[in-house]
């Protein structure tokens, strides 16, 4: 019962914190993309602080987050891995659902930072336009973040990896950094309960540019799924102690 109370307190805190921090940073973010990034990084730090001090969920980033222009292909399990990845890199740009643009605060800041919206069922068109923007130099360099399965996936569930990741990798001509996680065990995609423990996002060894599509996709899925399963097993083992 106590953990349920902590979980609901945490959710309320995160919900209230978003419009408050959004309004505080609005004058700076209105005129500067740096202000928008600063606001969202402040929100990410605040949520992770509340997760640890209210719920007992410590957020740990492992590996070496990239600072140069790369593609990040990540496992997506909950809102928490978005915050942890974004907080870890200097200029992250997510490929995200277009519906997010209409959300209060988040949508406005996403537009300001140049995030890439994708229509449901038209992911291929969005990737094509994005690649065209990259080629003509309309898109600023940074860390392009794509969720290779295209949606949140519960820990342990099997969902195929999307071909758009390979297309983006080929056209960008940049290394790809895989990212594994177990955060869905602590912060599930549905429900209010938040579990105490160590939620991990881990940046794995970069994959070089120029790999053949089949080899790239097979390697990406193997390293991300294998490491995510290991992190999940570790989390479950520690929760039983």
pLDDT digits (tens, 9 = 90+) for 18-54: 999 999 999 998 888 899 999 999 999 999 999 999 9
With respect to residue 41, please indicate whether it lies within any of the assigned structural domains. Answer: no
How far is Cα 139 from Cα 119, in angstroms, rounded to an integer?
A: 19
More reliable by pLDDT, 97 or 179? 179
Residue 68 phi, psi (nearest 5): -100, -175
Residue among 100, 103, 72, 105 at smallest CA distance from 86: 72
Average pLDDT, the chain: 88
pTM of the shown model: 0.89
With respect to residue 79, please indicate whether it lies within any of the assigned structural domains. Answer: yes
Residue 61, beta-bridge partner list: 201
> What are 184-237's pLDDT values in tens digits?
999 998 899 999 999 999 999 999 999 999 999 999 999 999 999 999 999 999
pLDDT attached to residue 190? 87
The CATH code of the domain that includes 227 is 3.40.1130.10
User: Of the ranges 4-13, 32-41, 100-109, which is most confident?
Assistant: 4-13
Beta-sheet strands, E only, within the chain:
57-62, 70-74, 92-97, 116-118, 143-147, 176-181, 197-203
Residue among 156, 179, 177 at smallest CA distance from 235: 156
How far is Cα 47 from Cα 213, in angstroms, rounded to an integer?
A: 37
User: Of the ranges 50-59, 100-109, 123-132, 158-167, which is most confident?
Assistant: 50-59
pLDDT attached to residue 167? 87
Q: How much of the chain, in percent, has pLDDT values that exceed 70?
A: 90
With respect to residue 92, please indicate whether it lies within any of the assigned structural domains. Answer: yes
For the chain, what is the domain count?
Answer: 1
pLDDT attached to residue 134? 57
With respect to residue 14, please indicate whether it lies within any of the assigned structural domains. Answer: no
Which of 53-62, 92-101, 119-128, 188-197 shows the lowest per-residue confidence on average (mean pLDDT)? Answer: 119-128
Q: Say yes or no to pLDDT of 60 above 70.
A: yes
Q: Are 199 and 182 in contact (CB under 8 A)?
A: yes
The gap from C-alpha 154 to its chain's centroid, in whole angstroms, comes to 15
Q: H or E segment at 162?
A: none
Q: Say yes or no to pLDDT of 130 above 70.
A: no
pLDDT attached to residue 172? 85
Boundaries of domain holding 138: 57-239
With respect to residue 4, please indicate whether it lies within any of the assigned structural domains. Answer: no
- Using the 8-state DSSP alphabet, how is residue 210 labeled? T
- Using the 8-state DSSP alphabet, how is residue 137 labeled? T
Residue 117, beta-bridge partner list: 96
Band (pLDDT 50/70/90 cuts) for residue 137 is very low
Residue 46 phi, psi (nearest 5): -65, -40
The contacts of residue 67 (CB under 8 Å, 6+ apart) are 89, 90
């Amino acid at each position: 019962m106590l953990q349920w109370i902590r979980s609901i307190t945490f959710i309320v805190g995160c919900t209230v914190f978003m419009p408050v921090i959004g309004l505080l940073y609005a004058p700076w973010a209105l005129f500067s993309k740096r202000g928008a990034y600063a606001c969202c990084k402040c929100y990410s730090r605040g949520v992770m602080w509340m997760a640890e001090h209210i719920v007992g969920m410590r957020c740990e980033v492992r590996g070496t987050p990239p600072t140069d222009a790369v593609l990040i292909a990540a496992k997506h399990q909950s809102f928490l891995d978005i915050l942890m990845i974004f907080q870890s890199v200097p200029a992250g740009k997510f490929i995200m659902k277009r519906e997010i643009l209409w959300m209060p605060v988040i949508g406005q800041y996403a537009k300001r930072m140049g995030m890439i919206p994708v229509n449901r069922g038209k992911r291929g068109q969005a990737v094509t336009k994005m690649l065209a923007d990259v080629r003509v130099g309309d898109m600023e360099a940074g860390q392009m973040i794509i969720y290779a399965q295209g949606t949140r996936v519960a820990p342990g569930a099997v969902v195929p990896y999307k071909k758009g990741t390979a297309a983006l990798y080929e056209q960008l001509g940049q290394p790809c950094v895989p990212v594994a996680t177990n955060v869905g065990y602590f912060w599930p995609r549905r429900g209010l309960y938040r579990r105490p423990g160590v939620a991990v996002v881990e940046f794995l060894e970069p994959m070089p540019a120029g790999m053949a599509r089949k080899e790239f996709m097979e390697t990406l899925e193997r390293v991300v799924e294998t490491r995510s399963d290991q992190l999940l097993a570790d989390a479950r083992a520690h929760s039983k102690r």
